[in-house]
Amino acid sequence: MRTSVALAALILAASGTVASAQPGPSYEGTLTDRQRQAEYTLDLEAGQIVTVTAFGQSGLDTMLSLRAPGGREVAENDDVAPGDLSSRIVYRAERAGRYTVIVRGYANATGDYGMEVFYGVNAGLSDQARSLGEFVASLSRRQTEQRFSVDLPAGEPFVATTFALSASLDTTLSLVNAAGETVASNDDRGDGTLNSQIVYQARTPGPYTVVVGSFSGQDAGDAALSMAIDPNVSVPFDFESIPRAVVDRYSGTINDANPDFDYPLNLSAGQTIMVLADAPNGDLDPVLTLSGLDGFPVALNDDRGIDTLNSAFAFTAPTTATYTLNVARYSDGASSGDYVVEVSNVDRSVVSQIQAQFENPVRLSGPEQIIETTDFRLHYTLRGRDRTTEDYARATADAIQRAYDVQINQMGWRSPVRDPDGRLRAYIADAGEGTMGYMKGIEVIFDNPQTPDVRERASSRTLLVIDNNLLEGRDDGEDPMRLMRATAAHEFNHMVQYGYDSEEGLQWLYESTASWIETATMGQDEDAARYAVTDFAAPQLCWTTTESGHNYGQWTLLQSLADQYGPRVVNRLWENAATLDGLETMTTTLAEVNTTIPVALERWRIQNFARDYAMAPRIDAAVTLAGGNKRSVGSMTGVVQELGAAYHQIRTTGARRYVLEGDGSVNMVGLGVGNGQVEITPLGRDGVFSDDGYEYAVVMVFNQAVPGQPGDCHDSRYSVATYDAQTGPNPVMSRMDARHFRTPGS
């Protein structure tokens, strides 16, 4: 057990102010079957605020309680927020004395834990933060808000944070300047709690007022308020503060009939413009793109901040030319509404000012540690919400470097865009509820400098994040190191993908490739096998369906292509994505191997039925029969979407004639399992198929139609009538290995 000496107590003054917060002791321990809880004592003064945080290691779900002198429980907490199994108590001592902190596991769980004590409010500030004071705001029906004065310096990030001391208190915060104008406000700080936080950078020094209220305007209770200057906090960019001269304004309405608009911009060499797009109504998510004379984009933005769907970019014209400004809606959706676009001349420095807002999107909760590998700089911390261990950090560094070595050096993928320091950036952090990791774009480069032989249209510089607690929310006995290595392969491949194209219209390609790459690079350290279950369960849905999980589950299509044409075909998909878009990406790639989308997709649907994959023993599923695994007798009916398949089990004996009615794009294939093989008999729309000699047989109805656009899926109804055969069966045309076959629906 590691401890340190507690610092001096903080005294609540008559004004309601407490002294600056300071870290206290930290502890480590283990809960066992023999010792289900641990107890620690704290000496507190009346009115003193203390923050106690407990966090489990290796998936332990902690619980905290605090007892006053005499043994009465005065505070308790299970989870800090939804998805965060840590525990936190923020408490103001009612009287002086020795308090007892108790750490337990949820449902008497056992395991290792850590606990940190902070005297005052732990607002998650960096080590370089300096406090401007801590206060207690008391709200009631008669006093619905409290105001606190503060003098702010110019150009330094100010952070105001509330922590409810009363159960269920939902606080709000506002910052008002000397002229009485509200310059910033917040309801929930975004960490899953009802606490509030404002981050603001004053342009000129002067007096401000922080207003603490409640969401309902009638809540009663106490809240602690922390105010500080923190040079390491990320400040929302204030576009309105940029000196500019407006040169053009455009407005219009984006909807299904008019999804985008183009405007010519005549720019001179060296001229720097800032373009702002705002949506005053509707749910419009506007996207701005600026293209040169050759049609290649030179500037692009979707969301200009984490709290807005509006867009903005700044651009310096390298040559005098007429550029094209495009205003559109985000491609993954059908948002609509009015837009207002403003084009202004600004100083050249604004380009770097705006980019700086996207450079550091991950802020670790404690002192930052760094591990450097050949190609990565990995950032992590041992404290706070993002805490990890040295062993986990080293293992993660090894895993992401291995992912690079295999995917780039062995499989021949193009290297992602690197940071200016020459390395790729990675973090270990709390990735969020149910998330094992993610990749995030930092800057659209357009043309990847790593690929001088190709001019990409939307290559981007990125970073990746691996979750610090991969067992959170799981109870399947998984090895966290195995999950970490699978996540490293998956998220690094997203970095690779963005080196080719961060705006690919065939969005299925992103998650399917990253899932496939887990199986291709990490062997048994993959998490993709369980994704395939989603698509096996609903094979009638179209390829590129937007139904949740299918973009992950349809990675088996890439494996099917790799089995037929070699793994290089997957690389070619992304190399083509650099210059093509949408279905053309797939069409062109398949043409290179002399096939088409319908032919390749029909083979994939048959391969799924046969489970003819080396990974099949790890896929705990078989395809579902049409009608939810009902055994088909006589006529067969159903619905199948573009490039989807429906499997009908044959229950009759001997040769039968099958006649299909429905959309002209739908056809039939007979599939018979026997002697370790699946025999494939094309039936078209009228054919004869016999189940003689087979252990199991189905008629697969396949829709050869290709969606008009990725995700543009529609139902096609069909019916199959059966008759006595007047001729012999259609010939078997090909076979697949059935060593891993499982009865559909099992």
CA distances from 728 to 606, 656, 669, 724, 725 (A): 23, 9, 16, 11, 7
Q: State the pLDDT confidence band at 240, using cuts at 50, 70 and 90.
A: confident
pLDDT of 712 strictly over 70: yes
All structural domains of the chain, each given as residue ranges with its CATH number in brackets, are 17-119 (2.60.120.380), 139-229 (2.60.120.380), 246-359 (2.60.120.380), 519-562+594-746 (2.60.120.380)
pLDDT in tens, 45-58: 998 889 999 988 76
Rg (CA), the chain: 30
Percent of the chain with pLDDT over 90: 66
pLDDT of 40 strictly over 60: yes
Q: State the pLDDT confidence band at 82, using cuts at 50, 70 and 90.
A: low
Tokens of 657: 């004639």
pLDDT of 698 strictly over 70: yes
- The larger pLDDT score, comparing residue 630 to residue 469, is at 469
CA angle, 459 then 442 then 578, to 5°: 10
The confidence score (pLDDT) of residue 252 equals 95
The confidence score (pLDDT) of residue 474 equals 52
DSSP string, 322-390: EEEEEEEE-SSS---EEEEEEEEE--TTHHHHHHHHHH-----SS-EEEEE-SSEEEEEESSSTTB--H
The confidence score (pLDDT) of residue 628 equals 61
CA distances from 55 to 62, 63, 131, 479 (A): 6, 9, 26, 19
Tokens of 628: 């939810």
Q: State the pLDDT confidence band at 235, using cuts at 50, 70 and 90.
A: confident
The confidence score (pLDDT) of residue 19 equals 45
pLDDT of 15 strictly over 70: no
pLDDT of 126 strictly over 90: no
pLDDT in tens, 737-746: 999 999 998 7
Span of 105-109, 344-348, 534-538, 724-728 with lowest mean pLDDT: 105-109
- What is the amino acid identity at position 205? P
CA 308 to chain centre: 17
Q: What is the H or E stretch that residue 603 is in?
A: helix 597-610
pLDDT in tens, 407-437: 999 999 999 999 999 999 999 998 876 689 9
Backbone angles phi, psi at 220, to 5 degrees: -120, 140
The confidence score (pLDDT) of residue 58 equals 62
pLDDT in tens, 443-492: 999 999 888 888 999 999 999 999 998 765 455 567 889 999 999 999 99
Backbone angles phi, psi at 366, to 5 degrees: -150, -175
Across the range 699-727, mean pLDDT stands at 95
The confidence score (pLDDT) of residue 471 equals 62
What whole-number distance in Å separates Cα of residue 32 and Cα of residue 416?
A: 46
Left (φ > 0), alpha (ψ -120 to 50) or beta: where does 307 sit?
alpha
Q: Which of 135, 130, 132, 131 has its CA nearest to residue 147?
A: 135
What whole-number distance in Å separates Cα of residue 720 and Cα of residue 685?
A: 9
pLDDT in tens, 658-697: 999 999 999 999 999 999 999 999 999 999 999 999 999 9
The confidence score (pLDDT) of residue 7 equals 24
